C-alpha cells in the first residue's frame, strides 16, 4: 500500500486540487470537447475503482464492465438530458441512507438534485386497513405489500418519464400514520439536472429502462436484520412478534421482487460502507469532473 492509500481520499482530493497537471476545460458545446471529457472521466473513474478496491470496506462491490463507457457515451450524445439515477435494494439494505448521502454531497457543491422515493406510490389501502383493523392484520391475511401490484405503477412510470424530460411533477404521498391513505398529487417534485429515484419499486417493470445509472445496494443479511428490528422498535412502534413476522415476509418478498434486478444494475454498492468514506468518494468524483485548467 502506497502513501496515498494510507492517507485516504481526502488526501487525494487535496492532491488533485493542487496538481499542476490539469487539462484545459473541454468545450462541451462541441462533440469533440465532450468526447475528450468522456475519455478523461473514464480514466479517472477507473482510478477511483482501483483505489476503492484497496479500502478496508470498499463501497463498490461490483461495477458492470461496460458501464463507464456506456455512461460516457450518453453524456456525449445527449449532454442536456436529466441524469437519472435509480437506486434499489432489499429492505434495510441502506438504500435510503446512501441516497441521502448522495444528496448531501451534491447539495454541498450547490448542484441541483431531486430525490424521489417510490414509497409514495403505494396504493391507497385505507379501505383494507379499515376492514382488517391494522396493517399487520392485513399482511397476515395475505396482502403482498412489496408486490408491483401494490404500487401505482402507471402513475410512477408516467412521472419518471416527465421528470426525465425536464417537467416538474406533483407525486402522490403515502401517509405513514398507519391509515394506508395515499393523497394524489400531494408533493411537488422539481426536475433538476440530477434526479435520484430510490425504493424497491424504482426498477419494477419498464422503470429500469429510464435510468442512466442503475444502482443496487447490497448488505449482509445479519446487518439488515439488526437494522430492521431497530427500526421496527424505534421508528414504527412494532412489538417483537409483529416485527419478526414482517421480517419473514420481507425476506421472501425481497428474493421474489427485488433481488432479480441485481443482474440489471450498473453499480452494486456496499450498504455497510462507512458514510464518511462514501462522501469522500463522491467529493473526489465531483473534484475530477470540475477541476480543469481555465
225 and 143 housed in the same domain: yes
How many C-beta neighbours within 10 Å does residue 62 have? 15
Q: Which structural domain range is residue 43 located in?
A: 1-59+274-294
DSSP 3-state of 88: strand
Q: How confident is the model at residue 236 (pLDDT cuts 50, 70, 90)?
A: low
CATH number of the CATH domain containing 110: 3.40.50.300
113 and 253 housed in the same domain: yes
Q: Which of 293, 290, 294 is nearest to 44 (CA)?
A: 290
246 and 138 housed in the same domain: yes
286 and 179 housed in the same domain: no
CB-based contacts of 28-32 (< 8 A; 24+ apart in sequence): 28/79, 31/76
132: its cell numbers: 382488517
86 in Cβ contact with 197 (< 8 Å): yes
Domain total of the chain: 2
What single DSSP character describes residue 23? P
The length of the chain is 294
Task: Quick: pLDDT tens for 27-44.
Answer: 767 777 778 777 877 888
Task: Quick: pLDDT tens for 49-98.
Answer: 888 888 888 999 999 989 988 888 887 778 778 999 999 999 999 998 99
110 and 168 housed in the same domain: yes
Give a three-class secondary structure readout of 155-195.
HHHHHHHHHHCCCCEEEEEECCCCCCCEEEEEEEECCCCEE
252 and 139 housed in the same domain: yes
Task: Quick: pLDDT tens for 97-155.
Answer: 999 898 888 888 887 889 999 999 999 999 999 999 998 899 999 999 999 999 999 99
The pLDDT of residue 4 is above 70: no
264 in Cβ contact with 203 (< 8 Å): yes
Amino acid at each position: 500500500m502506497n502513501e496515498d492509500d494510507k492517507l485516504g481520499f481526502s488526501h487525494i482530493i487535496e492532491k488533485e486540487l493542487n496538481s499542476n497537471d490539469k487539462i484545459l476545460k473541454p468545450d462541451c458545446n462541441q462533440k469533440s470537447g465532450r468526447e475528450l471529457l468522456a475519455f478523461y472521466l473514464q480514466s479517472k473513474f477507473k482510478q477511483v475503482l482501483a483505489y476503492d478496491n484497496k479500502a478496508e470496506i470498499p463501497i463498490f462491490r461490483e461495477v458492470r464492465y461496460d458501464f463507464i463507457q456506456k455512461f460516457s457515451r450518453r453524456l456525449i450524445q445527449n449532454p442536456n438530458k436529466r441524469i437519472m439515477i435509480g437506486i434499489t435494494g432489499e429492505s434495510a439494505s441502506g438504500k435510503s441512507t446512501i441516497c441521502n448521502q448522495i444528496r448531501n454531497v451534491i447539495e454541498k457543491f450547490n448542484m441541483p438534485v431531486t430525490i424521489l422515493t417510490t414509497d409514495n406510490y403505494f396504493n391507497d389501502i385505507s379501505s383494507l386497513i379499515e376492514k382488517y383493523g391494522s396493517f399487520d392484520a392485513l399482511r397476515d391475511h395475505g396482502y403482498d405489500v412489496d408486490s408491483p401490484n401494490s404500487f401505482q405503477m402507471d402513475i410512477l412510470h408516467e412521472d419518471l418519464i416527465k421528470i426525465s424530460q425536464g417537467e416538474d411533477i406533483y407525486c402522490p404521498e403515502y401517509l405513514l400514520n398507519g391509515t394506508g391513505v395515499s393523497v394524489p398529487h400531494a408533493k411537488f417534485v422539481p426536475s433538476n439536472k440530477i434526479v435520484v429515484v430510490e425504493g424497491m419499486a424504482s426498477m419494477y417493470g419498464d422503470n429500469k429502462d429510464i435510468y442512466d445509472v442503475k444502482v443496487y445496494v447490497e448488505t449482509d443479511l445479519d446487518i439488515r436484520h439488526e437494522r430492521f428490528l431497530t427500526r421496527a422498535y424505534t421508528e414504527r412502534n412494532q412489538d417483537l412478534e409483529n416485527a419478526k413476522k414482517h421480517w419473514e415476509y420481507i425476506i421472501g418478498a425481497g428474493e421474489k421482487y427485488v433481488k432479480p434486478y441485481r443482474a440489471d444494475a450498473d453499480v452494486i454498492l456496499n450498504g455497510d460502507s462507512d458514510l464518511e468514506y462514501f462522501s469522500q468518494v463522491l467529493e473526489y468524483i465531483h473534484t475530477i469532473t470540475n477541476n480543469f485548467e481555465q
